Amino acid sequence: MTQNELIGKIRELRQIKPRKDWVLLTKSQILGQEETPKFELFPFFKPAYAGLFFLLLLAGLIEFSQGALPGDPLYSLKRITEKAQAVFVSKEEQPKLQLELTSKRLEELNKVADANRVKRLAPALNEFQKTKIVAKKEILDSIKNKSEKEAIKVVKEVAPELNKINEKQNKVYLDLGIGESREESDQTTEKAVVEILINDAKNSTLTEEQKTDLAKVEEYYKSGDFQEAFQLFMTGSLNPSY
């Protein structure tokens, strides 16, 4: 290698810059000091963390909204969350899901009544009635065009919860001093449910007590009081064990 070539190589080496982390490490070793890391006061405001921060905030709001009552600011978010969850429930499970939601709406109405929150009463009552109408429609749809065996299976799954809702509703309405609305006076679902229960009972071996109760149920059914017929069936000796 000639002298000129050697000088050229040395000049090239002078252009090479060491890495920053190597410089800091060497500096700390020489001076006996550690490089103090920079403290970022609001790291979540960096673009890289913005999405994560938003998701955590949304999750927190959704969780907090579960305790909201009709008329509260976060109640709409609670209902949106429930509708989103319902999308992933199969058609066969919809009646049970809607009955669960109806039970929640009734519990909300009860809490509003207990707290004497007058301004929240109308929204809570409206939410309960709307949700129950949807639940009863789902029940009817689930037994429509089904075989007798399939219909009986569906009815035996939903009847206990529907009866509990009816009984608690009567108590809450009584405490509030209100009667049933025009929508709630519709007994179409109870008629369909008790009709299936009566037919199933007739095809079963019954005790004398059950035969007596069945006769009473049929009397209410024939008189058009399907709500009373359904309640008597579920609270008497005919109540099946599920």
End-to-end Cα separation, the chain, in angstroms? 98
Mean pLDDT throughout 90-104? 95
| Distance in angstroms (rounded) separating the CA atoms of residues 173 and 165 | 12
pLDDT attached to residue 182:
46
pLDDT attached to residue 242:
45
pLDDT attached to residue 77:
86
Burial of 82 by CB count in 10 Å (0-12 exposed, 13-18 middle, 19+ buried)? middle
Three-class DSSP labels, 160-195: HHHHHHHHHHHHHHHHHCCCCCCCCCCCHHHHHHHH
Decide if 75 contacts 69 (C-beta within 8 A): yes
Decide if 162 contacts 198 (C-beta within 8 A): no
| CA distance to 13, 18, 32, 101, per residue, from 21 (Å) | 19, 9, 16, 59
When pLDDT is cut at 50, 70 and 90, the band that residue 115 belongs to is confident
105 pLDDT higher than 70 = yes
pLDDT attached to residue 55:
60
Of residues 109 and 34, the one with the higher pLDDT is 109
| Distance in angstroms (rounded) separating the CA atoms of residues 146 and 155 | 11
Residue 185: CB partners within 8 Å, gap ≥ 6? none
Kindly write down the DSSP assignment for every residue of 61-111, as one continuous string.
HHHHHTT--TTSTTHHHHHHHHHHHHTTS-GGGHHHHHHHHHHHHHHHHHH
Lowest mean pLDDT of 130-144, 165-179, 206-220, 228-242, name the range. Answer: 228-242
Lowest mean pLDDT of 28-32, 74-78, 154-158, 162-166, name the range. Answer: 28-32
| Distance in angstroms (rounded) separating the CA atoms of residues 5 and 106 | 92
Residue 70: CB partners within 8 Å, gap ≥ 6? 108, 112, 120, 123, 124, 126, 127
Range among 4-8, 41-45, 80-84, 97-101 with highest mean pLDDT value: 97-101
Residues 220-242: tens digit of each pLDDT: 999 999 999 999 999 999 986 54
Residues 196-209: tens digit of each pLDDT: 999 999 999 999 99
pLDDT attached to residue 96:
96
Mean pLDDT throughout 95-117? 94
Across the chain, mean pLDDT equals: 82
Mean pLDDT throughout 25-34? 56
pLDDT attached to residue 108:
95
pTM of the model: 0.72
